[in-house]
Structure 1
């Protein structure tokens, strides 16, 4: 018998939702590319939609903190297609 504490189960549910959301995004991305929409247009639109939703649900201050954290991750190279580890 599997004994999961409430928070463990909640974490698993969130992880599963994130996986499914990623699959939805990948499908939508592929559809957009297939329809001739450039990747940079898809990316900018996705980011604008995401930021709008985050501001609506969490407020501007919290989203600005998130964007600062994302900026640091970009600066550290986390999102590069090919990363070099030094």
Structure 2
């Protein structure tokens, strides 16, 4: 039964992540439509995410998240040319 709950929890997190990405894509498109340059939108989004992460997990937690994101970036996870199989 534990595995079933874990699978359901994973599916819920995945669905929430997809919904969050859709909201962020809409906000990005709105900013672009308002004439805001993509680098400014990106900087604002990252700054907001870091502030919220610090609020929730403290500076050490935010640093751990940034370290993880750096490793994932260097591994190519966020590359626009990356293909998922």
The alignment's TM-score, normalised by the length of structure 1, stands at 0.81
Q: What does residue 52 of structure 1 align with?
A: 51
| Deviation per residue, 1:53-76 (Å, 9 max, x gap) | 111111111110111122223333
Please identify, of 70-79 and 48-57, the stretch whose mean Cα deviation from structure 2 is larger.
70-79
Runs of 4+ in 1 over 4 A off after TM superposition: none
User: SS in structure 2 opposite 1:37?
Assistant: coil
Following superposition, the deviation at residue 42 of structure 1 comes to 0.2
In the alignment, the residues of structure 1 paired with residue 17 and residue 77 of structure 2 have an alpha-carbon distance, to the nearest angstrom, of 19
Q: Which has the higher helix share?
A: 2
- Structure 1: gaps spanning 5 or more residues: none
What RMSD over aligned residues (CA atoms) do the two structures have, in Å?
A: 1.7
Distance 1:15 1:80, change over 3 A: closer
Q: Which has the larger radius of gyration?
A: 1
Aligned residues: 80
The C-alpha deviation readout for 1:22-52, integer Å capped at 9, x for no partner, is 0000011001001100000000000000011
